[in-house]
Structures are given as C-alpha cells and as structure tokens.
Structure 1
Amino acid sequence: MITLDKDLMSIQETRNLIAKAKDAQEIYKTFTQEKVDKIVEEVAKAAEKEAVKLAKMAWEETGFGRWEDKVVKNTFASKVVYENIKDMKTVGIIREDEEKKFFEVAVPVGVVAGLIPSTNPTSTTIYKTLIALKSGNGIVVSPHPNAKNCIIETAKVLTEAAVKAGAPEGLIGCITIPSLESTNLLMKHKDTALILATGGEAMVKAAYSSGTPAIGVGPGNGPAFIDKSAKVELAVKRILDSKTFDNGVICASEQSVVVEKSMKELVIKELKKQGAYFLNEEESKKLGNFILRANGTMNPQIVGKSVEALASMANLNVPAGARVLISEQTTVGKNNPYSREKLTPILAFYTVDNLEEGINLCTEILMNEGKGHTLVLHSENKEVIKEFGLRIPVSRLLVNTPGALGGIGGSTNLVPALTLGCGAVGGSSTSDNVGPINLLNIKRVAYGVRELEDLRGTKQEEPVNTINEEYLELIISKVVEKLSALNK
C-alpha cells in the first residue's frame, strides 16, 4: 500500500475542491436572483444559529481573544452582513439608465479562493462565504493551520445549509489538510478566478504575486487622535472598548493614542480611571521584547492575549483589573514595537505640541505600518474632522466611535465587512470594505448616442428645401387653368 505524504494529499484535495467548485458554479451562475437570495438567507441563518458553538471552538483552538466577543463577531458576519446584502441586485441586469442609454449586467467571477486568518477564523469564513454566494460565485476556503478545526466546522455548517436550500454540491469547499503547498496551488490554479486574502502581510503579498487577480488587505496600525474639542470621557471609553474587544485582534482596532500637550494630563487621568495601566520605562522595555520577533514581525504569542497573560509573559507586576497596557513613546520606526500593529491590549501614547504636529505624527505612524487602513478621530470640531479627512492616508477615517467596531461597519454605516481594503497606498487593489459587488464583473451595454461628426464638431445642419418663386407661380397658374376648365 502506498502512503501519500501530507503535502501531496493536501494538493490533491485542493485540486478536487477547485474542480467541484468550478462545476457547481457553472450551474449556480444560471440561478435566478430569487434562488440565490434564498440560499444566502438559509446559510446566514445557519451560521447565526451556530454562532456560540463556533465562537467557543475558535477560542479553544487558537487561544486568541474572548469567546463571548467571538459570538458577537459571528453574529455580525452572519446577521448584520446578511441584512446589508439581502436586497442587493447581483444577478442579471442590475442597473438601467434610460436617459443615458445603457444598462449593466452582473457577471460572477467564478471560483473565489477564501484565505482565512487565525485571528477571526469563524467569522471571516462566514462573511466570505456569504458575499461569494450572493455574487453568484463558488468558494474554496483555505484555513490557517492554527485554526483549521473551527474553520472546517464552520464550512460544514455553511455547506449543509446551502445544499439543503438548493445549492449545487461542491459550491462551498474547504481544505481539510491545510499546507503552504495547497494554499499556493489554490492561489495559482487556472480555475481560481479571484483571491480574497485576509491575514499576514507575507500571505497577502503572495496573493498579489500569484498571477491571479486578488483583493488583499495590509496590516492595520491606526492611531486614535483625541482633539481638544473631544468629549474626553467618552473618547477614552470608546478606545478601551475597542482595544479590549476580543482582546484587540481586529485589525481596525487602535494601536496608539495621540494627544496635544495641553490635554495630556486630562487624558492620562481618564485612561487610568477607566482601567488603563501606564508602564514605566523598565516595564515598557520588558514588554517590548515580547511584541516583535527577531525577524521584525509581530510575535504570535501575544496576539489576542489578556492583560494578565501579557503581564505574566513579560514578568510584570500589573494591578488586578487592568484592561489595557500603555507605554509612553516619542519615536516611530520599524524597530519600535510600540509604534507597530499590536493585535492585543497594548497601546502606545504620544504627545504633540499642536494639531499640525498631531496630523504629521499620525501620518508618520501610518506610513511606518498601516498605510491606507484606518485612523480614529475623537473631535466635535467639523473643521478638524475635515482637515484629517483631507490629509490622512487612510481608507477609513472613523469619527467618535470605537475603531474595531467602526472599521468593520458595526458601529458605523460603512459596508459590514471583515476584509478592509487599504487602497493603492497600502498595496491593496481596493479601498472598500469588501462586499459582493467587489466579487462581480460588471458588463456594460451602451447604445450609441453620437456620430463621428458630433465628436469632431463638423456635423452640418440639414439643408432646408426651398422652392423657386417663379416655379411656384407657374404651378399655381396651371392649377388655376385646370380648375377653370373644369368649371366650364
């Protein structure tokens, strides 16, 4: 008996899943809007029903975050995402403009490769599957190895609901033997139409270099600027709510706080009052050694851990009940771990002299890491908000809201999504919160409304037919003669 190596089994499984998804999608793309909508509805309901079980599985398997918050994310990915997309036209003619003489037709891309991270494994699987199905596509899910069991179970729940509602077998596929080789194959396969990549920076870069069209997202590293006009107590509450939600694993969560000197003491006092613990210089150094690995990437051991776990890891004596660890910083750079993305309850704290310095520092933090992603602004001054909106290099400027929940469209009216585009500045193909429309090709049917002469500006007016006066008089005289003869 021949025993296949794990990587070979993984590759063969992936080939089979792609083939099945392609065949199923060929059938699915002929479905009416009503049939598609019914399948999407049933899949969303099934995911919402299993939100608690899947959340607990994700927490137990990865050790990241809090299972209670993962329930919220699973419900968001199913119910909230569904409510946003349920009435969206995604099949056939989706827009007509009689006046401008054109109409638009939705064309599914085909088979989508859904790369799933370990930080938000079950919720991202639900979300990507729903938007793929809504747009008439098939999907093959590639799980992060550290979260494969909860992702496989999520895909099973979604698949069973889809097939029961009338979807073709194989429309939703999930790799059960994940490997680097299988992910690479999925991304580069000729029958993979589009990659939807959420995860580490290296994986997203691999997606873009695969030769297959890809929608990927870069790291978040959003600063939170508290303006002098802000309601400080509420601003601090929102920042801490965000940074402690699922222990900070959502990429839109705040990574630093920036304030002007004139309000520094007020903000620090409020942060401490609401449970933040400010590290001294020695403690900052100890914890900083755990944030980054030798290769300059974030240490996965700190991701989604509680303050208590972080303190134990770094041998710190932190007061009981502390919600977030904060380190005062003055520099920004690749070697300063506090100025980087930290998917855990750790914040940097910066002080500037004035608003202009604040804008410049926030920009510097983002250009160091997090270009094009998210910035959070707490302000009651519309001119300040406009200034930030015009100048900060982000795709999402969130005003007076928790970053984690605002960025994904939970506490804002942005498109509910767990894949957040960073635009060209962040190396992404879109700046959108990704939804079904991003997974469609739009065919445009346009009638001609101008001729070449119109474009050149040389079109002549049609000549007006004129009759010679003498000829007209002759005709009249002949008619008169005829009438006279008839009268006689």
Structure 2
Amino acid sequence: MPTAINETDAGGTLHQTAQMIEKARWAAASFATYPRDTVLSIVEAMARAAAAEARRYADWAVEESGFGNADHKEIKNRLCSTGLFEHYKDQNFTDFRADPATKTVAIPKPAGVIFALTPSTNPVCSVFYKAILALLTRNAILISPHPAAKACGVDAARLLARTAEAAGAPDGIIQVIPEPTMPLINSVMTSDRINLILATGGSPVVRAAYSSGNPAIGVGPGNNPAYVDETADVARAAKQIAESKAFDNSILCTNESAVIAHAAIAGRLAQEMKRQGCHLISADDRDRLAEHLFPGGKFNISLLGKPATTIAESAGIRVPRDTRVLLVPLERIGDDYPLSREKLCPVLGFYEVADREAGLSACRAMIRNRGAGHSAAIHAGDTAMILRFAAEMDVMRVVINVGCSTGAAGFDTFLGPTMTVGTGFHGRSSIGENIGPQHLVQWTRIAYNSADDIPFGDFTGLSLPEPATRPRLPQGKIDYSFDWVGGRPSRPGNAAPADAFEPADADALRAEIRQLILEEMRAMQQERQ
C-alpha cells in the first residue's frame, strides 16, 4: 500500500515537508525536459555562487559544529563546487546515446526526487556536492542537514536554490528541511513520494536508509590502513601521510587509521613524520590516550575533529605546540583493540611489521575491523607489490603514493571527486565506487535485432521529443511556492500559507486537472493532423 508522509504532528512540520516533496515532484518532472546547455548554465551558476562563499561557509561550519579546520573546509567547499562542475561538465547526462556497433540507443531517465542527508563532519561541501550532482542529472533534491550543523547547511542549500531558480531552474528544484528530526527523516525516507535516498553519515543513518524500502545509496564506515613498503620514498610518504591525517582534523572517512610500516624503513619513517609535525607518544601516554579516546570501548564523540594539541591536553599528555598529529605506537591490530579502529581525529596508529607478509596480514585485519569495502593506501615503488596489495585488500579503492584522505576522495587522484564513497558488496553497499552523477540517472535502452539483415536506424540529427504539455505548478488556492529559499515568496503574489489545505481547494485542483487534460487532447489532435 502506498506510504505517504505522516501529517498528524501538531506543529505542521511533517505536513509542510509533505508539501515540499510534492513541489519537488513537479520541479523534477519539469526539469527532466530541460536541454543540456540550459542544465549546464544553471549548474555552473550554482558552482560559482558556492565557490564565492567558500570561506564564509568554512568559518561558519567550524564555529557551529565545533570541529574541523576552516582553511581545509574552504578547500573542500571549492572542490565540491567549481571543482566538481569542471570535472563533470563534459559528460552528457541529458541527451540520448546511439551506438551503431551494438545497434542500441540509450535514453537518460533521472531518478526524480532525491532525499539527501548530509553529515556534521562535512556540512556545507556535502550540500554543494549533492545538489550539483542532482541538478547535473536533472533531478530535484530535498536536503536534510545534520542537526549539529543545520544553520550553515540550510543557508548553503538556500543559496543554491536561489541561484538555480535565478538561472532558470524550476521553482522548488532544491529545497531544505530547516528543522530536521529523526521522526521527520524516517517519515521522508519511507515515503513512496521520493525516488532515491543519498545518505552520508553514521552507520545508523545509512542502515535506516537501506531499510526504508526506497532505493538508497549510502556509505559505510572506514578503517583505512596505509602500508609503507621497503621500496617507498620514505620522506615523501611521511609528508603525504601527515598532511592527509591532519587535513580538516581528520574528519573525512577516507583518512588513515594507522600506518603499517615495514621494519626496513620504520625508524626512518617515524623520524620523517616527526619532521612533519607528528608527535610519537610514549607507551604510558598511549594507554592514557586510549582510555580517553575510547572510554568503555566507544569513541569519545567530543574529540571528533579536534586539533591534536587539544586532544593531548584533554588527555593530560604534553606535546609540542606545533603538533599536527598524535602518532601512537600500536601493540597489535585487533577487533578488541580500539586504537586500531577508525579515528575521526588526528590520532594515527603506527605499527611496525617484520616483512611484507606481516604487513599484508595487518592491513587485512584492519579492513576486517569495520573497514570492509572502503579504502586503503600503499606507498611503494615496487609495482608487483602494489598489484598484490590491491588484489588482497577487500576495499573498493586503493590509492598509491598519495594521502588517503584526499586521494580516495578523488581530490588528488583521478577518481571521481566525492563526499560519498560506495563500499560495494564487501561493505554491504550496492555501489562500489565514488558516487557521481552517473549513479543518479538510469538509461532506457532501445535494442535492435542483432541480425545482419535488419538495419539499425539513422538517429543523426534527432533529439528527444518535447512533451505535449510541460508540467507546471498548480494555480489558484493550492500553492507549492513556500518560503523555503530565503525570506521571500518564490512566486510573488501567490504565496498561501504552507498549511493552507482547505476543502474548497479541491475545486481548484479539479479545474487545473481538466485544463491539463484539454491541453493534452489538443496536442494529440494536432499530431494526428
């Protein structure tokens, strides 16, 4: 039986969100008819507007959430705006593709309405990233920002909405829930009025998305090893690992959890990492830090994305003031050893192994411990070892001689730039690559008879037909133009209250439907003539 948003709450929030979804459905139907040039001009305008405010939102995100590094957040905001647009602008997700060799034609079909959840760790760049991907593929998007960073997330979404509409996008193509709550999010996720969930966040949120009954794309947790082989450029490896672990105070899920160092270079690597601002703590301090970081075996959320010096001070450990990363000598790798788990803060395990076999074994053990499907890094000059490492790790991305944080996220490699990484079958995900626009559109395929005596059609010069009637907003008392995009009615003079559904509205709706039917009949009659 169809499932709709529960509209029984006294404050009207669920009711208003249900109306936002209906507005998004209209916008998606209209936007799906837009030509590629128009789509690109809209998305480019969004990307440039976002990049222009990259620093302001970086500062705002750090101030509101209480963690991260504003300089690095600014970089992410730019990479997920103009950087993202430049990466995908030459790919075509709007026109059909004819392939005479296989006698097939593929017609793009957008998902429709995407419900996007964004995390507190990347509150603004995730909004930019998901909105740009959605509009590149002619989808509408409803964004639910994380409650811990909702002010900056809501404002960023409204900036993109205003910019998109000013550039010609349908009203309501980007909307945002200003006061997200778990009951509201669950209601939206289980509604049959949305078409796809794009979830980035903690495991409970991702599991809820996958169990909602709607198609969902989510990311699992990471526990990413960085193996440094005896053939590595040790100084370069140390610099890249230190910069990667310190990037935005290590809140990207692609960051390194531990360095696995071959004994032949482990001493030199530790010294080089010290030069890069990594402080190797003592065994006594390690035990003190472990208890502080994982009280009762669970990660201390208050330390999420905090600077290394702040974490050390709160644990009663003295470190140099210029320390960027706390380097922790690990006793072992194991499910019952918390320091070998994912740490979304600049605390990096350091584990020395006797040889390559031990190194591979340690990396596999880390990945089994809540990191399956995610990412791994190797620093090596031996190509055969690189190939073996990638073959033996149950992850979907292995980055070579680069920091894992930005390398696996596609910023320092040619992987797709992303704020959502698919973890594949190993990580209980349906997608095993960095999420891009290709995952938000599907293709209807025309397949000709493969027999040689049946010719393939000539599609040269053809374009997809315009619909007989373009979807449009209902008129009259029923109004979907709510004030979600920044303190103004989106259609002046036609702004009814958000909860203004009255019995008399049914007459206006029936009149609108009759008018649409008449237009369709006239269009059909003209085609016959």
**Partners of 2:298 and 2:16 in 1: how far apart?**
31
The letter of the residue matching 2:208 is A
The letter of the residue matching 2:203 is E
Match of 1:253 in 2: 255
Match of 1:234 in 2: 236
Secondary structure (helix, strand or coil) at the match of 2:398 reads strand
- Residues 106 and 443, structure 1, Cα contact 8 Å, conserved in 2: yes
Give the alignment of 1:5-44 within 5 angstroms.
8-44=11-47
Secondary structure (helix, strand or coil) at the match of 2:396 reads strand
Greater CA drift, 311-320 or 42-51: 311-320
- Residues 11 and 181, structure 1, Cα contact 8 Å, conserved in 2: no
The letter of the residue matching 1:249 is I
Match of 2:82 in 1: 79
Q: Cα deviations across residues 258-298 of structure 1 (Å, max 9, x unaligned)?
A: 0122222121222222221112222112211232354x543
Match of 2:115 in 1: 113
**Partners of 1:53 and 1:10 in 2: how far apart?**
29
Aligned-CA RMSD value: 1.6
Match of 2:56 in 1: 53
Match of 1:215 in 2: 217
- Residues 110 and 441, structure 2, Cα contact 8 Å, conserved in 1: yes
The letter of the residue matching 1:69 is H
Structure 1 residues 297 and 165: alpha-carbon distance in aligned structure 2, compared to 1, 3 A threshold? farther
**Partners of 1:336 and 1:36 in 2: how far apart?**
50
Match of 2:434 in 1: 433
Match of 2:159 in 1: 157
Secondary structure (helix, strand or coil) at the match of 1:121 reads coil
The letter of the residue matching 2:121 is T
How much has 1:154 moved relative to structure 2?
Answer: 0.4
How much has 1:450 moved relative to structure 2?
Answer: 3.9
Using structure 1 for the length normalisation, give the TM-score: 0.89
**Partners of 2:445 and 2:212 in 1: how far apart?**
28
How much has 1:6 moved relative to structure 2?
Answer: 8.2
Any stretches of 5+ residues in structure 1 without a counterpart? 452-488
**Partners of 1:391 and 1:431 in 2: how far apart?**
16
- Residues 10 and 181, structure 1, Cα contact 8 Å, conserved in 2: no
**Partners of 1:365 and 1:415 in 2: how far apart?**
25
- Residues 8 and 14, structure 2, Cα contact 8 Å, conserved in 1: no
- Residues 44 and 82, structure 2, Cα contact 8 Å, conserved in 1: no
- Residues 305 and 346, structure 2, Cα contact 8 Å, conserved in 1: yes
Using structure 2 for the length normalisation, give the TM-score: 0.82
The letter of the residue matching 1:328 is P
- Residues 119 and 200, structure 2, Cα contact 8 Å, conserved in 1: yes
Match of 1:486 in 2: none
**Partners of 1:391 and 1:59 in 2: how far apart?**
38
Match of 1:411 in 2: 412
Select 2:266's aligned residue among 261, 264, 272: 264
- Residues 9 and 177, structure 1, Cα contact 8 Å, conserved in 2: no
How much has 1:11 moved relative to structure 2?
Answer: 2.1
Give the alignment of 1:278-289 within 5 angstroms.
278-289=280-291
How much has 1:172 moved relative to structure 2?
Answer: 0.6
Secondary structure (helix, strand or coil) at the match of 1:301 reads helix
The runs of 4+ residues in structure 1 deviating greater than 4 Å are 4-8
Q: Cα deviations across residues 236-267 of structure 1 (Å, max 9, x unaligned)?
A: 00000001111111111111000122222121
How much has 1:326 moved relative to structure 2?
Answer: 1.5
The letter of the residue matching 2:101 is E
Match of 1:88 in 2: 91
Match of 1:359 in 2: 360
How much has 1:338 moved relative to structure 2?
Answer: 1.2
Give the alignment of 1:245-324 within 5 angstroms.
245-292=247-294, 294=296, 297-324=298-325
Q: Cα deviations across residues 389-410 of structure 1 (Å, max 9, x unaligned)?
A: 2111111100011111111111
Q: Percent identity at matched positions?
A: 37
**Partners of 2:409 and 2:13 in 1: how far apart?**
32
- Residues 206 and 220, structure 2, Cα contact 8 Å, conserved in 1: yes
**Partners of 1:194 and 1:8 in 2: how far apart?**
27
Structure 1 residues 6 and 272: alpha-carbon distance in aligned structure 2, compared to 1, 3 A threshold? farther
How much has 1:332 moved relative to structure 2?
Answer: 2.7
Any stretches of 5+ residues in structure 2 without a counterpart? 1-6, 453-529
Select 2:66's aligned residue among 63, 72, 80: 63
- Residues 221 and 369, structure 1, Cα contact 8 Å, conserved in 2: yes
**Partners of 1:228 and 1:333 in 2: how far apart?**
24
Secondary structure (helix, strand or coil) at the match of 1:92 reads coil
Pair 1:342-2:337 in alignment: no
Match of 1:332 in 2: 333
**Partners of 2:143 and 2:397 in 1: how far apart?**
27
**Partners of 1:128 and 1:224 in 2: how far apart?**
28
- Residues 51 and 82, structure 2, Cα contact 8 Å, conserved in 1: yes
Structure 1 residues 7 and 304: alpha-carbon distance in aligned structure 2, compared to 1, 3 A threshold? farther
The letter of the residue matching 1:430 is I
Pair 1:97-2:99 in alignment: yes
- Residues 198 and 204, structure 1, Cα contact 8 Å, conserved in 2: yes
Structure 1 residues 342 and 6: alpha-carbon distance in aligned structure 2, compared to 1, 3 A threshold? farther
Higher helix share: 1
For the pair shown, the structure with the greater C-alpha radius of gyration is 1
Structure 1 residues 266 and 194: alpha-carbon distance in aligned structure 2, compared to 1, 3 A threshold? same
Structure 1 residues 286 and 31: alpha-carbon distance in aligned structure 2, compared to 1, 3 A threshold? same
Structure 1 residues 251 and 96: alpha-carbon distance in aligned structure 2, compared to 1, 3 A threshold? same
Secondary structure (helix, strand or coil) at the match of 2:124 reads helix
**Partners of 1:250 and 1:220 in 2: how far apart?**
10
**Partners of 2:358 and 2:43 in 1: how far apart?**
48
Structure 1 residues 285 and 60: alpha-carbon distance in aligned structure 2, compared to 1, 3 A threshold? same
